[in-house]
Structure 1
Amino acid sequence: MGEDLYCCICNDETGRGIILLNQYICRSCEKEIINTPSDELKYEIFKRKIKDIWISFLQAT
């Protein structure tokens, strides 16, 4: 990616990451999502944000 994008998780502007259902997730958040144990509160926050991405995608189609 040559352009900077805003992460839908942390709102930071970066140029490296992934696109999930038309939403950008920065490399830092991607790694944090992968490495967060499922028994931590932060995991639930990530789950909710990804669910919001999914709902937004469904509403747009």
Structure 2
Amino acid sequence: MSKGKTCIICDKEKSMGIHLYTSFICVECEKEINSTQTSDEKYKYFVEKLSRVKNPPLYS
């Protein structure tokens, strides 16, 4: 039985986090993203990982 969802940033299975559209970001990665400065090397890494987030289809 699965204990959580896979984080799109760290690719680890976690039980606590947020859902962004159809993607999941764990609490640890969320905190790290929020505290990273745009001048930091890791910022580019987060931007690349977050580009994997896809908008769900809109049905009318």
Kindly tell me the number of residue pairs found equivalent between the two proteins: 55
Moved over 4 A (4+): none
Aligned-pair identity (%): 35
- TM-score relative to the length of structure 1: 0.78
Read off the aligned partner of 1:43 and give its amino acid letter: Y
Residue 7 of structure 1: aligned partner: 7
What's the C-alpha RMSD, in Å, of the aligned pairs? 1.3
SS at match of 1:24: strand
When the two structures are superposed, what TM-score results if normalisation uses the length of structure 2? 0.79
Larger RCO, structure (CA 8 Å, separation 6 or more):
2
